[in-house]
Structure 1
Amino acid sequence: MQIPKQQVIDFIKSKVGGDQASQADSELPDQVDTDRDAGLLQKFGVDPKDLLGGSGGGLGSKLGL
C-alpha cells in the first residue's frame, strides 16, 4: 500500500520520537510502499502492519481502510 511520506513521518514522530522522524524524513521516498519499504520502516521502529491500522490505531483508519 502506498502512503504519503508525511503521514508516515507524523506516525513515527508520535510513536517513536522526533529524532527517528527526522532521519526517516531524509531516507524515505515521497510515497512509502508498506511492502517495498518494510525494511526501512522497521529501521525506524515501525511495523508496517501498525501503519495500516493494526492494534495501534494506525493510519489505516485515517485512510479509510
Structure 2
Amino acid sequence: MNIDKSQIIELLKSQGNSDKADQAESELPDTVDTEQHAGLLAKLGIDPQDLLGKLPGGLGGFGG
C-alpha cells in the first residue's frame, strides 16, 4: 500500500518522535510503499500494519 510520506512524519511527531520524523523526512520517498520500504519503516520503528491502523481516513481495519 502506498502512503504519503507526510502522513508518516505527522504520525511520528504525534507520538513525540521528532528525531525519527526528521529521519523519515530525509530518508523516505514522497510516496512510501509499505512493502517495498518495509526496511526503512522498521528502522524508524514503524510496523507497516500498525501504521495502517493509526492513519486517519479509515485505513485501519487490517488485522482487527
Aligned residues: CA RMSD: 1.2
Q: How does 1:5-24 map to 2 (within 5 A)?
A: 5-15=5-15, 17-24=17-24
Query: Structure 1 segments of 4 or more deviating over 3 A?
Result: none
Unaligned runs of 5+ residues in structure 1 are none
Q: Distance in 1 between matches of 2:48 and 2:16?
A: 14
Instruction: Provide closer, same or farther for how the CA distance between residues 45 and 16 of structure 1 changes in structure 2, counting only shifts above 3 A.
Output: farther
Q: Give the C-alpha shift of residue 45 in structure 1.
A: 0.7
Counterpart code for 2:45? G
Map residues 42-61 of structure 1 onto 2, 5 A cutoff: 42-53=42-53, 58-59=54-55
Query: What's the TM-score once normalised by structure 1's chain length?
Result: 0.81
Q: TM-score, normalising length from structure 2?
A: 0.82
Amino acid at match of 1:45: G
